[in-house]
């Protein structure tokens, strides 16, 4: 750890440079877990280096995605639990780029905080590393910015970006989609990382007992349930792509069904889905009941228990379900593609 660069003047302004060095030392073991054969550089340089394996590709195409955790972080602050939100950060990025069929290569994070507490920063990065391991991406760099006076001392923001690659001919672009194709659902682990401004308002989380057992949630506490990390779908989808032609993938994030499903469907076609066929998780029933929110508005805001949808030909549906289930996903048939001027026909 470099103690020679300690600045008394900077410390008086609220920034401890040496805390940053300690945080890096504490996070190195977590980062090491994510190393893949393409990693060229070590943590601590000015840039992260990665040499991708281009074998077998005719037109390698990079696909990138960036996102943050959003106001779900407020739950982490209230519960003083910081080792899972990094999974959310990675998930929100890699789940997006897998929609194009791209395999994630590497990830970089950005943490901005009011006060650099090395142990807390290391806990956050441990979650980022876990998300990278789950998605097969290498954590090759990042930035921790201590910003006193901008953020409260005990708060932080977390964002990042992922870069993946796919052969151009294999990009999933919905060009082959047609009426009669089947929509498969991959269940979510909960609210994931979207809609938390509404969730926090509904439950008034700043004043609620977040640890008390809630019968509707199977006895789990509200805080534990809401802080459940976003599921990462990369490896099951990559396994599926090896065996089945996938015609469209949607990551169900903010905006729920009505905003995200249309993004993978061409004009003239729509997704016909029966609400009764959606395996809604108990947390969404509780949000709906507590907040007195209409069911349609719920589907327009949350994932409702469906974290990702996949469109395949009807004749491939059973094989696709078998592959997804063999890779840990309790996937099921959600609906079908129909000729429609409306992109989502929810009934």
Q: How many whole angstroms separate alpha carbon 265 and alpha carbon 176?
A: 10
> Rounded to two decimals, what is the model's pTM?
0.93
In the chain the first and final C-alpha atoms are separated, in Å, by 60
The H or E element containing residue 10 is helix 8-12
pLDDT at 128 over 80: yes
pLDDT tens-digit profile of 30-45? 888 999 998 997 776 7
Give me the chain's average pLDDT, please.
93
pLDDT band at 13 (very low <50, low <70, confident <90, very high): low
pLDDT tens-digit profile of 280-322? 999 999 999 999 999 999 999 999 999 999 999 999 999 999 9
pLDDT tens-digit profile of 204-255? 999 999 999 999 999 999 999 999 999 999 999 999 999 999 999 999 999 9
User: Using CA of residue 116, residue 121, residue 122, residue 125, what is the dihedral sign?
Assistant: negative
What is the DSSP-derived secondary structure letter of residue 42? P
CA 314 to the chain's CA centroid:
28
Report yes or no: 178 and 340 within 8 Å, Cβ to Cβ: no
pLDDT on residue 347:
83
pLDDT on residue 31:
87
Q: Can you tell me the mean pLDDT for 98-119?
A: 96
* Of the candidates 162, 188, 201, 190, the residue with the CA atom closest to the CA atom of residue 74: 201
Q: Can you tell me the mean pLDDT for 172-193?
A: 96
* Residue in the structure block whose two tokens are 């905006």: 255
Phi-psi group of 223: left, alpha or beta (phi > 0 → left; psi -120 to 50 → alpha; rest → beta)? alpha
pLDDT on residue 43:
72
pLDDT at 279 over 80: yes
pLDDT on residue 22:
81
pLDDT tens-digit profile of 149-159? 999 999 999 99
């Amino acid at each position: 750890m470099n103690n020679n660069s300690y600045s008394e003047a900077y410390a008086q302004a609220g920034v401890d440079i040496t805390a940053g060095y300690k945080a890096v030392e504490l996070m190195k073991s977590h980062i090491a877990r994510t190393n893949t054969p393409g990693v060229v550089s070590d943590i601590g340089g000015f840039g992260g280096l990665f040499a991708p394996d281009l074998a077998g590709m005719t037109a390698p195409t990079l696909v990138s995605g960036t996102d943050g955790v959003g106001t779900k972080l407020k739950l982490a602050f209230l519960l003083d639990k910081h080792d899972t939100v990094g999974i959310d950060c990675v998930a929100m990025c890699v789940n997006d780029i897998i929609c194009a069929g791209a395999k994630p290569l590497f990830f970089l994070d950005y943490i901005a905080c009011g006060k650099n507490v090395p142990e807390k920063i290391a806990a956050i990065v441990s979650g980022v590393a876990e998300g990278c391991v789950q998605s097969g991406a290498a954590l090759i760099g990042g930035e921790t910015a201590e910003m006193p006076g901008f953020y409260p001392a005990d708060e932080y923001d977390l964002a990042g970006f992922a870069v993946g690659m796919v052969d151009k001919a294999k990009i999933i672009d919905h060009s082959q989609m047609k009426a009669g194709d089947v929509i498969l659902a991959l269940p979510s682990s909960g609210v994931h990382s979207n809609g938390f401004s509404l969730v926090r308002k509904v439950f008034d989380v700043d004043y609620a007992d977040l640890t008390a057992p809630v019968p509707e949630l199977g006895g789990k506490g509200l805080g534990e349930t809401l802080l459940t990390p976003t599921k990462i779908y990369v490896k099951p989808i990559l396994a599926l792509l090896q065996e089945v032609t996938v015609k469209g993938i949607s990551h169900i994030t903010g905006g729920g069904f009505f905003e995200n499903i249309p993004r993978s469907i061409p004009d003239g076609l729509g997704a016909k889905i029966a609400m009764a066929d959606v395996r809604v998780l108990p947390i969404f029933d509780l949000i709906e009941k507590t907040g007195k929110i209409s069911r349609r508005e719920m589907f327009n805001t949350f994932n409702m228990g469906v974290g990702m949808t996949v469109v395949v030909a009807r004749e491939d549906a059973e094989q696709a379900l078998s592959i997804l289930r063999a890779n840990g996903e309790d996937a099921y048939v959600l609906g079908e593609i129909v000729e429609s001027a409306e992109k989502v026909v929810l009934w």
